[in-house]
């Protein structure tokens, strides 16, 4: 295979140098930097296709993959798994780097990751199902469902504001005792009594507290714990058998979970959690509590392409710009109802490019114009490679 490497804005020269030297190596792993095969695996939930069979330039797809491996070689990542589906068929699936570099365990395909805020669209989808069922109203105050919000401080917060992160709650502004509360409902009671940090509806402020409140609303209208509702409305119907709401080291799937790493200086990663330890929490976080696999999240994203969970009209509403009426022209990015929008649609008849990132450095995204799904999962927390994955996805797959 030959490869050309055109200079691209935003890609560091050192990465281009690494990529250039790896062009002749094909799928060979560098010493100390393992990577899996890209060949089809048995029992995959989607069929496979070559790039040519789905109308992709194989060189561009190869460069997309090698660009990510270059980040592993540069020690910008400990490990990552990338999955690309075009027209419902797998054109790329590879794991790179380490599940645990301290114990010398290579990362494998089919790993299960803490997906952090990629949980939010799953919760949002359940809320929108309950809206379609008439159990929740988008324009209703949260106080309609939660007594602790029935006060001058929190009474103006609506369900739609919570879904679009316009409620006024700030990230990290939990009241005292919030994380130590015995249940989600008790934690959100404290939040409702304290009230938002800014006037509801005034501006967009991303905060997981919005998801917590929505989770408590779901519990109030169903009488079930929010994680059980997610199982009943999303995980079960889509057969997401590798998506879980709790972790323990003795669970049969625990060995598939990689260790998590933080970087305190460039290229120096320190393990701060491994799957031999439990994740200790009093209650499931509807903002960030799921564990999941690349294949499962692809199934979830595909459900939006096929309107399997909610109606087409609800999907369009969920992905619409909530501040469109205040703008003179379309925004390049916005936040919908628990979805990030990365690029507007080419015309009003199509959906925008959408998805969601997680604090663990992950992202799942959909490019409707080319019917492409991209899942990027990593155990290298709070790194900027996810932004490059999104940028490269636009370059390679949007057109």
Give bridge partners of residue 273 from the DSSP assignment. 260
Q: Report the distance separating Cα 201 and Cα 108, nearest Å.
A: 44
Residue-range domain boundaries for the chain: 1-111+365-399
Is 349 in a helix, a strand, or coil? coil
Contacts of 250 (CB under 8 A, 6+ apart): none
Most distant CA atoms of the chain, gap in Å: 67
Q: Report the distance separating Cα 378 and Cα 387, nearest Å.
A: 13
Q: Report the distance separating Cα 101 and Cα 96, nearest Å.
A: 12
Question: Mutual orientation of helices 312-319 and 120-132 as an angle, nearest 10°?
Answer: 130
**Rg, C-alpha atoms of the chain:** 21
Per-residue pLDDT 10s for the chain (399 aa) are 333 333 333 444 444 443 433 333 347 889 989 999 999 988 899 999 999 999 999 999 999 999 999 999 999 999 999 999 999 999 999 999 999 999 999 999 999 999 999 999 999 999 999 999 999 999 999 999 999 999 999 999 999 999 999 999 999 899 999 999 999 999 999 999 999 999 999 999 999 999 999 999 999 999 999 999 999 999 999 999 999 999 999 999 999 999 999 987 766 899 999 999 988 889 999 999 999 999 999 999 999 988 899 999 999 999 999 998 888 777 899 999 999 999 998 888 889 999 999 998 999 999 999 999 999 999 999 788 999 999 999 889 987
Kindly report the pTM of this predicted structure: 0.91
Q: Give which of 339, 386, 353, 395 is closest to 81, Cα–Cα.
A: 386
């Amino acid at each position: 295979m030959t490869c050309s490497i055109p200079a691209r804005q935003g890609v560091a020269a050192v990465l281009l140098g690494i990529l250039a030297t790896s062009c002749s190596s094909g799928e060979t792993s560098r010493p100390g930097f393992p990577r899996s095969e890209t060949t089809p695996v048995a029992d995959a939930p989607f069929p496979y296709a070559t790039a040519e069979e789905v109308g992709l330039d194989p060189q561009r797809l190869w460069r997309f993959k090698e660009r990510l491996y270059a980040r592993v070689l540069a020690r910008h990542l400990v490990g990552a798994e990338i999955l690309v589906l075009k027209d419902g068929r797998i054109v790329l699936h590879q794991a790179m780097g380490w599940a645990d570099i301290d114990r010398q365990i290579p990362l494998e395909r089919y790993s299960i990751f803490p997906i952090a805020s990629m949980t939010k669209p799953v919760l949002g989808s359940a809320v929108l199902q309950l809206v379609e069922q008439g159990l929740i109203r988008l324009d209703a105050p949260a106080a309609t469902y939660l007594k602790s919000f029935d006060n001058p401080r929190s009474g103006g917060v609506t369900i739609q504001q919570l879904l679009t992160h316009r409620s006024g709650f700030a990230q990290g502004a939990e009241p005292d005792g919030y994380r130590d509360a015995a249940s989600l409902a008790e934690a959100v009671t404290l939040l409702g009594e304290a009230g938002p940090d800014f006037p509801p509806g005034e501006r967009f402020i991303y905060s997981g507290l919005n998801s917590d409140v929505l989770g408590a609303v779901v519990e109030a209208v169903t009488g079930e714990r929010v994680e059980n509702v997610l199982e009943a409305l999303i995980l079960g119907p889509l057969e997401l058998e590798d998506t879980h709401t709790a972790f323990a080291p003795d669970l049969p799937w625990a060995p598939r979970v990689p260790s998590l790493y933080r970087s305190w200086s460039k290229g120096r990663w320190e393990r701060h959690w491994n799957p031999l330890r439990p994740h200790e929490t009093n209650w499931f976080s509807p903002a960030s509590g799921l564990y999941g696999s690349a294949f499962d999240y692809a199934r979830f994203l595909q459900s939006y392409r096929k309107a399997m969970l909610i109606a087409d009209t609800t999907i369009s509403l969920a992905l619409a710009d909530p501040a469109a009426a205040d703008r003179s022209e379309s925004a390049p990015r916005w936040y919908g109802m628990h979805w990030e929008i990365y690029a507007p649609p080419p015309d009003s008849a199509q959906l925008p490019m959408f998805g969601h990132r997680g604090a663990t450095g992950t992202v799942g995204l959909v490019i409707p114009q080319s019917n492409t799904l991209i899942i990027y999962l990593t155990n290298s927390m709070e790194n900027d490679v996810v932004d490059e994955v999104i940028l490269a996805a636009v370059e390679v797959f949007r057109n």
